[in-house]
Amino acid sequence: MDAILGQVLRNAVWERLDLLTELASRADAPSLLSVARSELPRLTEGWRALLAAHEPDEKGNCPECSGRWRQQKSPCSVWRAAYEHLVAGGLAPRPARHLREAPVTPPVTRTRRAVARAH
């Protein structure tokens, strides 16, 4: 059940990002301004919450990316992605998700096989 809920949540987020990308590239100026005023604060708060969870601890490790046996030094991949997208030119428009290269599909695990059999 957790895998199904996770997939529903992921799909909803991807669809929302696709919608925002579409609006950014095709909306008229008044509509774009309206969307920017409502969505930019939500997006910046989302980034802040995500980055706060990945703030390094007193040892300089990311508490979210570190595991029991392997510590992830800061800056972790989340902070690097934030820098890339928010500071180092990532504010430039990006192609819609369906136009980007497909991500590498993770290997099928026992959990994924169980979910696939359930359908």
Instruction: Return the ∠ at Cα 77 (arms to 88 and 16), rounded to 5°.
Output: 75
Spatial distance between the Cα atoms of 87 and 76, rounded to a whole number of angstroms: 16
Say if 103 falls within a structural domain.
Answer: no
Q: Is the pLDDT of residue 39 over 90?
A: yes
pLDDT in tens, 56-95: 999 999 999 999 898 999 899 999 999 988 888 755 555 5
Q: With respect to residue 35, please indicate whether it lies within any of the assigned structural domains.
A: yes
Is pLDDT above 70 for 17?
yes
Does 43 fall in a domain? yes
The answer to whether position 116 is within a domain reads no
Mean pLDDT of 7-27: 93
